[in-house]
Amino acid sequence: MSDSDGLSAASASDSQVTGEAVVDLDAVAGNVSSLARSAAGAEVMAVVKADAYGHGLVPCARAALAGGAAWLGVAQLDEAIALREAGVTAPLLAWLLGPGSDLEAGLRHRVTLGVCSGWALEAVATAARATGQVADVHVKVDTGLSRNGVTMADWPTTAGLAAALEAEGVLAVTGLFSHLALADAPAHPTVDRQAAAFAEAIRVAEAAGLRPQLRHLANSAASLLRPDLHYDLVRPGIAVYGLSPAPDLVSPAEAGLVPAMTLRSSLTQAKRVPAGSGVSYGHEYTTTGDTVLGLVPLGYADGLPRSASGRGPLLVRSADAARRVTVAGRVCMDQVVVDLGPGAGAAAGDEVLVWGPGTRGEPTAQEWADAAGTISYEIVTRIGTRLPRRHVGTAGTAGGPGRGGALAVPALDGLVVTTP
């Protein structure tokens, strides 16, 4: 098996590697460029939390910057520090701080800190006094999601505290932000209610003497579907990686996005079994006729959702055909079985595409989300650490920021996609 067909030669020869997540950095950069165009004058903060939604923190952060992102956003302070230690110097917001967060380290690494309460403002001020640095702060206001953020009832008092600390010279409130609960339903009345609350929060901030230069409310869905809420900065997450935040309303292609991750493996066994053979734990699948079963060495330990048992789709590329199949029976910890049909010319080593952009007949992450009853965010983010990420493309690398074209996965070479 060559480098350009299936797993790389290095991966194929390593018995410990059962698959890989191939991430197209040029797709990431292109997605950010598309989002920047749709932002109509607002800057883009590319959200790279949770290891860039499973795609690889540092390479995707660099690719997003190459695509035109002005800011990067993460949830946890450790993620921000990891980016700084990797040499990423772009403006960077970390917004999920808690008691015990090393705020002094965050300030030393020039991280903008997102604060959600009066105690957090006081903690940041204490860290600023200890380091002798002026903390750059974005305050989060809870406009209706009821997660982290200053409540609207507490905001006048907290804004006054922020203004006092700003006057002391220990921090500067350079941003004000919130998060939408139903942005993927853009006409839902809660969206307008939150928008109105955010406008009121801005008014309260200004009345307290605060002058935040960056106001941001729009996540991926609002970036695409509510241009009236773009303000100064949009904050896309899942869309950076080419997946739709509202698949019932807009497809990735319609949004100008290209899914960046392809999850791939290869068969470790193909064998003929008779009719009536029970397959995998619980025998929840039984063959209806003589057939060929294939073994794929990926399971829920790698991130495949067990809830997709009997439904998760795959594309198996054999010498005679490329076959769309579904998991036969349960998703196990390390493996799944597929029924390839009675005439399949399958063999160990045949390439398996679990998901990808969908341009070669393979399933998409959204199809897996539908099969598992979840969202595409979870599908890509849950990929386990024992599966290596291989980054292709040049965006954000020494090779240049350009959009290098298609993912380095071969075409189907004239094979016909069939179902058994």
Strand pairing of 285-286 and 278-279?
A: antiparallel
Cβ(24)–Cβ(31) below 8 Å: no
| Nearest-angstrom CA–CA distance, 146 and 131 | 33
User: Is 231 marked active-site?
Assistant: no
How would you classify the pairing of strands 135-142 and 150-151? parallel
281 is catalytic: yes
What 3-state class would DSSP assign to 404?
coil
Crossing angle, helix 57-66 and helix 25-38, to 10 degrees? 50
Instruction: Yes or no: say if 285 and 278 are a contact pair by the CB < 8 Å rule.
Output: yes
User: Token pair for residue 78?
Assistant: 């450790």
Per the listing, tokens 């520090």 go with 81
Strand partners, 271: 293
Catalytic residue among 53, 271, 281, 300: 281
Q: Is 384 exposed, middle or buried (0-12, 13-18, 19+ CB in 10 A)?
A: middle
> Which residue has tokens 């800057």?
43
Contacts of 82 (CB under 8 A, 6+ apart): 57, 58
Among 49, 140, 231, 300, the active-site one is 49
| Beta pairing class for 322-326 and 417-418 | parallel
Q: State the virtual CA torsion across 389, 381, 28, 108 in degrees, nearest 10.
A: -90
The CA-to-CA distance between both ends of the chain, in Å, stands at: 25
Alpha helices in 219-364, H assignment, sequence order: 220-225
Judge contact between 409 and 7, C-beta under 8 A.
no
* Token couple for 196: 């109105």
Residues catalogued as catalytic: 49, 281
